[in-house]
Amino acid sequence: MIAKSRITSGRRTRKNSGLFARSRTHKWEENQKELRALREEQNHKWEENQKELRALREEQNHKWEENQKELRALREEQNLKWEENQEELRALREEQNLKWEENQEELRALREEQNHKWDDNQAVIRSMLGELRRVDRRIDSTIGALGARWGLSSEQSFRGALKAILEETFGVTVERFLKKDQTGQVFGRPDQVEIDVVVRNGEVLLVELKSSMSSGDMYIFDRKVLFFENETGRKASRKIVVSPMLEERALGVAKELGIETYSAAEDVRAQDLPQTI
């Protein structure tokens, strides 16, 4: 009996185990079904969500593209306006520069005209002043000559005035040759010999500046020239007498001796003197 009872108990146990196993399998399958359903639901929701996200992205991209188009159009419009503005500014600058250049040209022309007038004015003034100085010196030399003849002025002051005229008019330097004639070759007795010397470009010009000249003075001047040449070994290129009062006979003697005569220093023409190099 005991053995039979054990067998029966074992059968029941196996049966119960089988029922339990089947129950557990059923629950697992039910659970798997729920999990699959849940996964499908979640996948469906995820797909729906992805569709919404894609639609949203497409919408946002479309809006971004529209916005970019509007921005490009706005930039193009602004660039066009900027270019038009720059063109107007360039045209305005060119117009202003042209007006400025025309104004500067007018100013330069006016300055040149004024400078030309000023130069002409100055030339006239210098010419008038030079003429006045020449007239003044000519008057001074003439008065000096008359004064020397009548005892009103010294011969030395007259010579100084004529020497200054000759130097200023022709830009030459008048030097003084002074040496004693021991043998009396010039005056017939020992005495100092004075003569004015102008040297330019190797030429020697001997000049006598006196308030008045007689025929005897002409002979003395000629002997002075010979004395100078003998003492210095230099040949005189020309012999010149400048005097406002020349006697008629003195002019004849001067021509005979080859002496040039002038009544004033201004009468000596520029081409008559050696030109500087």
Please give the pLDDT value at position 152: 41
Is the CATH code 3.10.20.740 the one for domain 154-272? Answer: no
Round the average pLDDT of the chain to a whole number and report it.
82
Region 134-149: what's the mean pLDDT? 56
Q: Which residue has the higher pLDDT, 127 or 123?
A: 123
Asked whether the predicted pLDDT for residue 234 surpasses 80, the reply is yes
% of residues, the chain, pLDDT over 90: 50
Residues near 52 by beta carbon (within 8 Å), at least 6 away in sequence: none
Asked whether the predicted pLDDT for residue 183 surpasses 50, the reply is yes
Q: Which residues of 180-193 are buried (b: 16+ CB within 10 A; e: fewer)?
A: ebeeebbeeeeeeb
User: Which of 172, 156, 162, 173 has its CA nearest to residue 138?
Assistant: 162
Please give the pLDDT value at position 128: 73
Chain segment 32-57, per-residue pLDDT in tens: 999 999 999 999 999 999 999 999 99
Please give the pLDDT value at position 171: 65
Please give the pLDDT value at position 200: 74
Asked whether the predicted pLDDT for residue 205 surpasses 70, the reply is yes
Burial (Cβ within 10 Å: 0-12, 13-18, ≥19) of residue 240: buried
pTM for the predicted model, two decimal places: 0.44
Helix (H) or strand (E) holding 172: none
Helix (H) or strand (E) holding 100: helix 2-150
Q: What are the residue ranges spanned by the domains of the chain?
A: 1-111, 154-272
CA–chain centroid gap for 224, Å, is 58
Please give the pLDDT value at position 201: 74
Rounded distance between C-alpha atoms, residue 186 and residue 201, angstroms: 28
